[in-house]
Structure 1
Amino acid sequence: MSIYRIATVVSCGLAGTVAQAEFLKDSHADLSMRNLYFNSDNRDGAANPSKTEEWAQGFILNYRSGYTPGLIGVGVDAMGMLGVTLDSGKGRHIGSTMIPSDGDGAASEWSDFGATAKVKLNQTELRFGQLMPKIPVLVASDGRLLPQTLEGAQLQSKALDDFTFLGGALNRATGRASTDRTGLAVNGGTQESDRFYFGGVDYRVNRSLLLQYYGGQLEDYYTQHFLGLNHNWSLGDEGSLTTDLRYFRTRSDGANGTASGRGQGYVASGYTADGNGEIDNNLWSAAFTYRFGGHALTVGYQDVSDDSNFVQINQGSIDKGAGGSSLYLLTDKMLLNFTRAGERTGFAQYAYDFAPLGVPGLKAAVMYLKGDHIQTSSGVEQSEWERDISLDYVIQSGSFKNLGFTWRNGMSRSEATRNGDQNRLIVNYTLPLF
């Protein structure tokens, strides 16, 4: 029996306990609404047309129960999602970037439902069913109208002071523009893996220093190890300085490590040293952020080794609208992520919080990234750059408190892929129900 079916059975079994006051007293539910206008103009290339322009409304009903009384508490969470297309159509809908495809156009609406059973003993919790992990080796993507979800089991423990332990296994994913559950893969892989194992620990050394280790294995594709350090140095009246160091080591696993396996479709896209699609990559980055008043200035550098692209789970080559992913990288931006084999990227961002000027809730930022030394099969190195602007405002009081408005504008120019210009206009609001 699959993990998803087990979660469903357990959830149904728990339904009878909902009437208990102890189960309900800590329950919460809210309705999140997101209105998104998405405009992505690829500017050049062979695709015709080259522009995606769509507008949609999303709803997420999120229920989180309390726990039954006793030494071992039991509960259930549930999430229902609905997307409604407001404007799209043939000629402005390319693939399934934000809205699932229906024939040669966009679906008028789409929906999904997931449940998560949970069991808690003191500071240790087991969850199985629908999950949305956000850890260095896997970040569930929330970059469009509705989020990506995954299915599996996860165990988290905070039983030791200053430590958070996490581990689990996943076997299915639903893309951010899809209602189809699929197996797991990387970008370029056409064969589905049915197992991703993960585990790690966060160690809070003190209020200023966090150390991390995480590992992940996508069976028949790759094994990945992550080390991270985040330190915040208070400079008193002169502000603060944050240091963010990240290192990933990724190697082939199972079928991807053999010629026969790669021939079946267990391959990664992009340049590889032997031209065979085998995963072999190291990535490290360092970023430093100085904050003073409402100002925040970030400068950083990222280095990708020469033998293959950096990879994490991405369903982009599985033709079920499951494409798109998020990466635990400061360079994962609107149009590019700067993870090509050999790529060396310098980046800088300036952000300002207008609260000191008497406008709380208003924030703005501009970022520029430049990558070069991209490896190619011809031996000619390539380069690319991206510039992003963001503006956010959240109403702080009154009848429309917490109503948020966002504008994102991105421009990229690349020798390795198509040039692009992109705009996103987003309105977010979460209504607490109980």
Structure 2
Amino acid sequence: MSRKEIAVTVAFGCIALSHHANADFLSDSKATLGMRNFYFSNDNRDGTAAPSKTEEWAQGFMLDFKSGYTDGTVGVGIDALGLMGITLDSGTGRHVGSSMIPSDSDNNAVDEWSRLGLTGKVKMSKTELRYGTLIPKLPILVANDGRVLPQTFEGGQITSGEFKDLTLIGGRIEHATGRGSTDRTGLSVAGGTRESNKFDFAGADWKVTKDLTAQYYYANLDDYYTQHFFGLIHTLMISDNQSLKTDLRYFKTDSSGENSSGTSGYRVSGYTKSGDGEIDNRTWSAALIYTVGGHAVTAGYQSVSDGSNFTQLNQGSLLDKGAGGSSLYLYTDRLIQSFTRAGENTAFGQYAYDFAALGIPGLKASVMYLSGHNIKTTSGSDQKEWERDFTLDYVVQSGALKNVGFGWRNGKSNSEAARNQDQNRVFMSYSIPLL
């Protein structure tokens, strides 16, 4: 879809709805144009498989329109999300697998790509129903936003805050569109080549006290897996500028439907205890985050059981769709590795500093190190890996470039279970309010 088609579609949709809307719908509407300039480089420092290095540069635009609601007991509205990417630099041998930029029929990077997402919404009291394009950020499903354009999903979601201190959520996801793609797909897991079109989920966030939040989420990907998540988050305020946060997470994931039968196409990749690709995993983690002034120190541990790898939605094994790229609600989901292989135990630590404490607001930096061991793969056991990540961010606070953001991500990974890699991401972002 071209830029002109996106603009015309959004404009006519908004005009058509505005004939039936009132002042609240119009006055509460917001529109922003987000821009992201993104350079990505990943150096596979060993192994014979091509390519040895991925290197690309692109410009992304995101037009985000969010309407208000019509007046009355039941309010109605519509959101629209227009996404467009332009390739600034790529080439044969440096572009692979639609990691950031879609591929053409010759497997080269396209010059530009775009897509449009529309979402209808209905609100009554403190309950909202949304159907259409979604960008979820839930323990059982996190949309990936690690490249120039975000991954999106299609489906319905209902969120209710009718009860004090309790947020209820549920819904069904039916399709996904990858961060480097214009084609929507069905749903799958790493290794799965058959599509599912039914991901049902439900959950609750209960604020037990002002310092303690308890979470429970359920998810079922038809013919692949059923997952239960339990979480506890507690913040202890030691003083005005000093706190200790405790974050506990537990996932229980079991095979479902065709995956239980070992049916070809529904099998998960990587090591499984029975060797038949059946999902069987328990993953828990504990993290402590101590903050004082501008300093923040994180220390944690994660354990993955050895029945299979940790599993959530991942469309990367679906062929010819450019659907790769997924995120996980885990501290170990980092720039290069996720430390979620069967049997893997990972210790991790991070130091972050907010330079506002030194009178430089907008500047932040962090360094993180993770070390995993006892990994089981189809080629061996008791394997090890480590990763070191560095981040640097700055948002201009004043002047002509106010609110322009700059970021750098650098990661280095050595693994006995995967290729050693060096990765760099450099980006600049800016958002312009239109309404």
TM-score, normalising length: structure 1 = 0.95
**CA distance in structure 2 between the partners assigned to 1:201 and 1:242 by the alignment:** 20
Does 2:127 correspond to 1:124? yes
Deviation of the 1:53 alpha carbon: 0.4
RMSD: 1.4
Q: For 1:356, what is the secondary structure of its paired residue?
A: helix
Pick from 37, 61, 72 the counterpart of residue 74 of structure 2.
72
Q: Deviations over 1:375-394 (max 9, x none)?
A: 13455320100000000000
- Contact in 2 for aligned 1:14/1:75 (Cα 8 Å): no
* 3-state secondary structure, aligned to 1:381: strand
Correspondence 1:194 to 2:197: yes
Q: Quote the Cα distance in structure 1 between the aligned partners of 2:63 and 2:369.
A: 36
CA distance in 1, matches of 2:377, 2:270: 9
* Residue correspondences, number: 422
Equivalent in the alignment of 2:407 = 406
Q: Which residue of 1 aligns with 2:34?
A: 32
CA distance in 2, matches of 1:237, 1:78: 41
Q: Distance in 2 between matches of 1:317 and 1:237?
A: 49
User: What is the match of residue 311 of structure 2?
Assistant: 311
1:352 aligns to 2:337 (yes or no): no
Distance in 1 (alpha carbons) for counterparts of 2:270 and 2:178: 22
Match of 2:302 in 1: 302
Aligned to 2:94: 92
Of 141, 156, 159, the match for 2:159: 156
Which residue identity does 2:82 align to in structure 1?
G
CA-to-aligned-CA distance 1:115-152 (integer Å, 9 cap, x gap): 00000001000000111110000001111110011001
Q: Deviations over 1:228-287 (max 9, x none)?
A: 01110011157110000000000001000003x2x2x00111000011110000000000
Give CA-to-partner distance per residue, 1:159-207, whole Å, 9 cap, x none. 0010100000011000000000100000100000010001100001122
Match of 2:57 in 1: 55
Which residues in structure 2 correspond to 1:280-295 (within 5 Å)?
280-295=280-295
Amino acid at match of 1:146: L
* Alpha-carbon distance between aligned partners in 1 of 2:423 and 2:39, rounded to the nearest angstrom: 11
Mapped partners of 1:13, 1:272: distance in 2: 54
Pairs within 5 Å for 1:202-281: 202-236=205-239, 239-259=242-262, 261=263, 263=264, 265-281=265-281
Q: Distance in 2 between matches of 1:269 and 1:24?
A: 49
3-state secondary structure, aligned to 2:24: helix
Q: Is the 8 A contact 1:14 1:76 kept in 2?
A: no
Structure 1: 5+ residue runs without aligned partners?
Answer: 1-7
- CA distance in 2 between counterparts of 1:300 and 1:396 reads 33
Return the alpha-carbon distance in structure 2 between the equivalents of residues 385 and 416 of structure 1. 11
| Counterpart contact for 2:159–2:168, Cα < 8 Å | yes
Q: Report the equivalent of 1:177.
A: 180
Structure 1 residues 303-382: aligned runs within 5 Å: 303-319=303-319, 320-377=321-378, 379-382=380-383
Please state whether the residue corresponding to 1:101 is helix, strand or coil. Answer: coil
Query: Is the Cα–Cα contact under 8 Å of residues 351 and 364 in structure 1 kept in the other structure?
Result: yes
TM-score, scaled relative to structure 2:
0.95
Counterpart CA distance in 2 for 1:19 and 1:87 is 44
Question: How far off is 1:401 after superposition?
Answer: 1.6
Q: Decide whether the 8 Å contact of 2:341 with 2:375 is kept in 1.
A: yes
- 1: CA distance between counterparts of 2:125 and 2:424? 46
1:167 and 1:72 mapped to 2: Cα distance?
Answer: 19
**Closer/same/farther in 2, CA of residues 238 and 98 from structure 1, 3 Å limit:** closer
**Structure 1 CA distance, aligned partners of 2:203 and 2:191?**
27
CA deviation after TM superposition for structure 1 residue 352, in Å: 0.3
- CA distance in 1: counterparts of 2:96 and 2:74, whole angstroms: 49
2 CA distance for matches of 1:106 and 1:294?
42
SS in 1 for 2:114: strand
The answer to whether the 8 Å contact 1:23/1:75 transfers is yes
Residue type of the partner of 2:225? Answer: Y
Counterparts of 1:292 and 1:407 in 2: how far apart (Å)?
A: 24
- 2:133 alignment partner AA: Q
Compared CA separation, residues 398 and 277, structure 1 to 2 (3 A): same
